[in-house]
Amino acid sequence: MTNYTLSVFTTNTVGLLNRITIIFTRRRLNIESLTVSETERLGVSRFTIVIRNENRDVVEKLVRQIRKVTDVLAVYGYLDDEIIYNEVALFKLATPLGGEPIDVKTINLDWNAKVVHWGLEYVVVEKNGTGDELGEFYNYLKKWEILEYIKSGRIAVGKTEKGLVEFLPEGNWEIV
């Protein structure tokens, strides 16, 4: 299966997420991750959607269908090598008295992660990276009791010289 990352630029409109995700439901496509945020343009939001599919034609049809949705300004589809992407994960680890101490030096230097909260009973560690990197780090942390684990969806920027919002339809866009 191939990963595709869709960047969908929209106006910030109530119900738009539902109108976009229903397209995936109708086509029986699973969304692997979904992140929505504002952009550097006032009033423009960006959906970053990751799907896995073997058939590029299916993905291209999906992109064309999303472009037809009212309030969608632009849609771009990318393979992993065409973008720079990352995810963030938080791990809450138990630190009971007498338990194995957390190796902060290894976490910081070898894994490029950081402890963001020290509690009496637990610590919270933050790690940025690709899904594979986060999975490897998760496996490393299994030697401690993982109380909670959460991972964000993918965020991505294109490897093009210009930002993707530069390719939006003409308009009087205010920079945030």
pLDDT at 20 > cutoff 70:
yes
Q: What would the pLDDT profile of 79-134 be if each residue is shown by its tens digit?
A: 999 999 999 999 999 998 877 888 899 999 999 999 999 988 999 999 999 999 99
Q: What would the pLDDT profile of 141-155 be if each residue is shown by its tens digit?
A: 999 999 999 999 999
pLDDT at 165 > cutoff 80:
no
Nearest to 93 by CA among 79, 81, 111: 111
Nearest to 50 by CA among 13, 88, 87: 87
Pairing of strands 113-118, 31-38: unpaired
pTM over 0.75: yes
| Spatial separation of the C-alpha atoms in residues 66 and 69, rounded to whole Å | 5
Q: What would the pLDDT profile of 37-46 be if each residue is shown by its tens digit?
A: 998 888 889 9
Q: Are 7 and 26 in contact (CB under 8 A)?
A: no
